[in-house]
Structure 1
Amino acid sequence: MQVYRERSAVITVGGAVVALAGVVTLGFALAGESSIGQLILGGILLVMGSLTAGIYGEVRIDARKVDLRMVPAPHRVIDIADIKSVEPIDIAPLKYGGWGWRRTGRRTTALIMRGGPGACLQLTDGSRFLVSGRLGRQLLTALR
């Protein structure tokens, strides 16, 4: 089984900024008179930012299936037999709603870690799965 992992700089930096906002909020709340709301807000920002900064994409490929994950949350397993074709594609994250795990109304799901070259999996049911960045290039190479 081949396993590939990649972090998105946009998601990691965004999470770090939110966590830092939580630290600052907690700092101000603890330095003076604070309400319970400020402490709760600071704690929520710190936890959510830390969790977001730890997100990464993962692709696992073996002889029978391709497992696409946005760790620690969504994932999808696609049988090799369900892949009609694999084609290179240039992916612009904002066209699909940004970075991360994206679903569009056009029967397209995407795992977008960065813009640029990637892979488009055309499935036998007519849907598509896009994978960007280094993960997409490695997937393209492994399935061709």
Structure 2
Amino acid sequence: MLRSRLLVGATTVALLTGIVVTATATPEPWSWAVLVVPAAALLVLAEVRVSVDRRGLRLTAGLLRLPFKRIPLDRIARAYVQDIDPLRWGGWGYRFMLPGRSAFVTRSGPGLVVELTNGHQFAVTVRDPRTPAALLNALRQRDPVG
């Protein structure tokens, strides 16, 4: 389970600020959505479950248990451990970079990088990236055609 205290704290402050501003000011009727909806979306992603099994890699939003990233095992060419520098992967949070790189980064340090069969890469920071990398590679070797 990935949990970003910084993201939870910053999002909570932003959400409360948005509620207070909306309640005390005389804004347009729709303006609360501009403040509250993005903050709520960030709060949902503040806790993410990363799982690896025979189906592949899956990231699930912890609060709502909604899967938001799935990579089937047959699309994974290999998995490896890499030191993740958030600035080299586009910053913190869910990031899309061109060409063919995306990541879910909650901190700097060791992370799991999955190289797809089409050459694209996906990275996620986890506490012990060696275990899911080894499991994905072993499952790919056992069933190389998916």
Identify the TM-score tier after normalising by the shorter chain: 0.7 to 0.9
Pick from 74, 81, 102: which aligns with 1:81?
A: 74
Kept after mapping to 1: 8 A contact 2:76/2:116 = yes
**TM-score (normalizing by structure 2):** 0.72
**By how many angstroms is 1:90 displaced?**
0.8
SS in 2 for 1:134: coil
Residue 59 (structure 2) pairs with residue 59 (structure 1): no
**Percent of aligned pairs with the same amino acid:** 28
Measured after TM superposition, the shift of residue 42 of structure 1 is 4.6
Residue number among 68, 88, 105 corresponding to 2:59 in the alignment: 68
2:96 is matched with 103
Mapped contact 1:85–1:122 kept (Cα < 8 A): yes
Q: Deviations over 1:98-120 (max 9, x none)?
A: 22211110211111122111011
State how far apart, in whole Å, the 1-side matches of 2:92 and 2:128 are: 14
Structure 2 contact 80–130 (Cα < 8 Å) conserved = no
Q: State the shift of 1:44 in Å.
A: 4.4
CA–CA distance in structure 1, aligned partners of residues 43 and 56 of structure 2: 28
Is 1:112 paired with 2:105? yes
The letter of the residue matching 1:18 is A
Q: Secondary structure at the match of 2:35?
A: helix
Show the counterpart of 2:39.
49
- What do the CA deviations read for 1:74-95 (whole angstroms, capped 9, x no partner)? 7332222322221111111122
Whole-Å separation in 1 of the counterparts to 2:116 and 2:33: 43
Gaps of 5+ in 2: 138-146
Query: Contact 1:6–1:57 (CA<8 Å) still a contact in 2?
Result: yes
Q: How many residues align?
A: 134
Q: Structure 1, residues 55-75: CA drift from partner, whole Å, max 9, x if none?
A: 232223221322234566773
Displacement of 1:137 in angstroms is 5.2
The structure with the largest alpha-carbon Rg is 1
> Once the two structures are superposed, what CA deviation does each residue of 1:15-67 show, in whole Å capped at 9, x if it has no partner?
112112113314533xxxxx242x65356424542442232322232213222
Indicate the structure whose relative CO is greater, using CA pairs within 8 Å and at least 6 residues apart: 1
Aligned residue among 7, 13, 28 for 1:11:
7
